[in-house]
Amino acid sequence: MTAALPDLQDRRVNMARRIIVALDFDTVDDAEAIVDRLGDAGQSYKVGLELLTVAGPTLATRLVDEGKDVFLDLKLFEIPTSVAGAVRAAGRLGATMVTVHAMGGSRIMEAAVRAAADFPQLRVIALTVVTSLTDTDLAAIGLNATIGEQVIRLARLAQRAGCHGVVASPQDAALLRAELGPDMLIVTPGVMLQAEMNIGTTTEHARPAHPAAAIRAGATHIVIGRSLTRAPDPAAVLAHLEDELGVLRAHS
């Protein structure tokens, strides 16, 4: 039994980096309160546009200084020069991931990848289709494709552009893993805990799934927000996920 303990600890440390806690708050105090409650257990955090607008780079800098992974979910969609500048800023900040819109095309993704090359820790992750969208939404903006078809099309484009990974719904993870091979990162927001799924909790994500289902399907990272951050005991939720998902990764 003793010999197995280091392996279990290694799995938990590894999985803690793959569970990205979304700091989707409109005040710095609320975001910092969750970081403080999770303490050493929280190893990866997503900082999105709302919090970055409210807090500036201060909180992200604090997280980096404490050795945390910071996923800057900027969803960059601009001319290549502007995207490259934003990616370099993310790299200087110490971020480990930054998102660009695959819908922006190859040139902006290639510019992002070139800009990130100066920062060994930084990975460029291409957003395929926003997880709140449905087939009807794509049709409304003139795209004659299903969500699944568009996700695969954009993921292929991102891979050719040199991106390190993609963001997609957990329900798209299996198709993406089969299409992209073993090396691309697949980051999946829109995960829900089983208790929420059992009672039919609504979510703005159109295609949610349980974290374990996402990992089994081939996701490398999950992004979890309110299911964890609004829980009575966020640290207990995180510890349970680390154990459950760590076992899955060990047997995959």
Q: What are the tokens at 59?
A: 């909180």
Tell me what pLDDT residue 197 has.
41
CATH at residue 49 = 3.20.20.70
Tell me what pLDDT residue 244 has.
83
Tell me, yes or no, whether 3 lies in a domain.
no
Burial 118-132 (b: 16+ CB within 10 A, else e): ebeebbbbbbbbbbe
Tell me, yes or no, whether 8 lies in a domain.
no
Tell me, yes or no, whether 6 lies in a domain.
no
Q: How many domains does the chain have?
A: 1
Distance, in Å, from the CA atom of 91 to the CA atom of 221, rounded to the nearest integer, reads: 20
Entry pTM: 0.87
Q: How many CA atoms lie within 13 A of 191 on its CB side?
A: 28
Tell me, yes or no, whether 7 lies in a domain.
no
The residue segments making up the domain with residue 47 are: 14-250
Tell me, yes or no, whether 74 lies in a domain.
yes
Distance, in Å, from the CA atom of 209 to the CA atom of 169, rounded to the nearest integer, reads: 8
Tell me what pLDDT residue 126 has.
97
Q: Tokens 């070139």: give the residue.
A: 114
Tell me what pLDDT residue 248 has.
63
Catalytic residue among 12, 62, 75, 114: 75
Write out the chain's pLDDT in tens, 252 residues.
222 333 434 444 478 899 999 999 999 999 999 999 999 999 999 999 999 999 899 999 999 999 999 999 999 999 999 999 999 999 999 999 999 999 999 999 999 999 999 999 999 999 998 877 888 888 898 888 888 898 999 999 999 999 999 999 888 999 999 999 999 999 999 787 755 544 344 455 455 678 888 999 999 999 999 889 999 999 999 998 888 887 666 555
Tell me, yes or no, whether 109 lies in a domain.
yes
Tell me what pLDDT residue 73 has.
96
- 46 flagged as catalytic: no
Tell me, yes or no, whether 77 lies in a domain.
yes
Residues in the chain: 252
Strands 221-224 and 185-188: parallel
Q: How many CA atoms lie within 13 A of 227 on its CB side?
A: 28
Tell me, yes or no, whether 194 lies in a domain.
yes
Comparing CA positions, the residue from 81, 73, 71, 84 lying closest to residue 43 is 71
